[in-house]
Amino acid sequence: MRYVLSLAAALMTLSTVSHAGNYSYNDCHVHVVNFMQQGEGLDALLKSMDENNINHAMITGIGVMKKWAETEPQKPKYYLSDAAPVYWYSGTDYRLLNEYKSLKEEDQKRLHPFITGFNPTDLNAAAQLEQMIKTDPKVWQGVGEVFTRHDDLSAITEGETPRANHQALKKLYKMAGKYDLPVLLHSNLTSKRDKGWLYLEELEDALESAPETRFILAHAGTSGTLHRWQTHEDLNKLIDKLLTKYDNLWIDMSWSVLEPYITESETPGIDVDRGKTRKGVSINWMHLLEKYPDRFMIGSDVVGKYKSQGKILHDFDELFDHLKPETVKKVAEENFLSILPKWRQEELKNSQ
């Protein structure tokens, strides 16, 4: 009974710090093409950013391409459109590079290109990464999204199944660290049919293999299907342990983390037993962000089209309304910029 009363008091206290308002954002996760390597272009992205109070955005291609199989009557629109496989595709970086370099300098300053066009199971990947960096050392500002454990995408990708601690990726992580580049890593913490943390050891091995490299865990190790097999409490507890143990880890809270882990759309009133505020925001996640205000960032994970970018980021307002203003500033804007290479941070500082 004492625990219930104390939790209720904590919920009421946090609900009173609400400071709803117009937030500014930096988007840490934007794909400029879809799985067919098509996209609306960077001008369309900048327009979306202007319309939605987004100051900066990470931009990357997609490291695989969906095959249009001869057996399929029409061109697929998504990687799950049909049973045809996807294959590793390096041309995505060159398309991004050419389009980025065609922008005006003031527009380039708002966008932060990441390299993703390599096969993460190829021991040549680190050398290919270095070659791309040397081609334009003052353009590339990170690596990823690196696809490893990724549910159905992994299942239909041709060749060896990538994993976070593959020897090819361990070499690549060290190369990224050599050039002060952060790595956005997609590594699901478990499979669609396993309730335990099936792939946690792979992630921890990766983090330990390159302690000087900054890692961003895409979607906090989740996907749009994993929540069916995990309880909400499990994920925040695990992320807490990982952030305590590894100071080279940051968390990307893209769309699949926000709901249902952090928010639920149909949670009436204050639910003490489930640990929710009036608006259905998880008290556990609120505490977690306040405990590690420098380690979380937000991303839209849009794929070649930007119509939904603003809504996805604005959906975080429900969470932000219950955090301290200084925490919101870090999570919504500052933390993403803080993991960029030092030379880029200096440029941003000098341009203010």
pLDDT, averaged per 10 consecutive residues of the chain (352 residues), comes to: 41 45 92 97 98 98 95 90 92 97 97 98 98 95 96 90 97 98 96 84 98 97 74 82 98 89 57 50 94 98 97 95 97 98 94 79
| Phi/psi at 188 (5° precision) | -55, 140
Phi-psi domain of 122 (left: phi exceeds 0; alpha: psi -120 through 50; beta: other): beta
Asked whether residue 40 is domain-assigned, the answer is yes
Number of compact structural domains in the chain: 1
Q: What is the pLDDT of residue 22?
A: 84
Residue 2, both tokens = 């004492």
Question: 282 is written with which tokens?
Answer: 């998880």
Query: Residue 174 falls within a domain, yes or no?
Result: yes
* CATH number of the domain within which 259 lies: 3.20.20.140
In a domain, 11, yes or no: no
Pairing between strand 249-252 and 215-217? parallel
In a domain, 2, yes or no: no
Neighbouring CB atoms inside 10 A of 14's CB total 18
pTM of the complete model:
0.91
Is 15 domain-assigned? no
The pLDDT, as a whole number, for residue 191 is 86
What's the confidence (pLDDT) of residue 274? 44
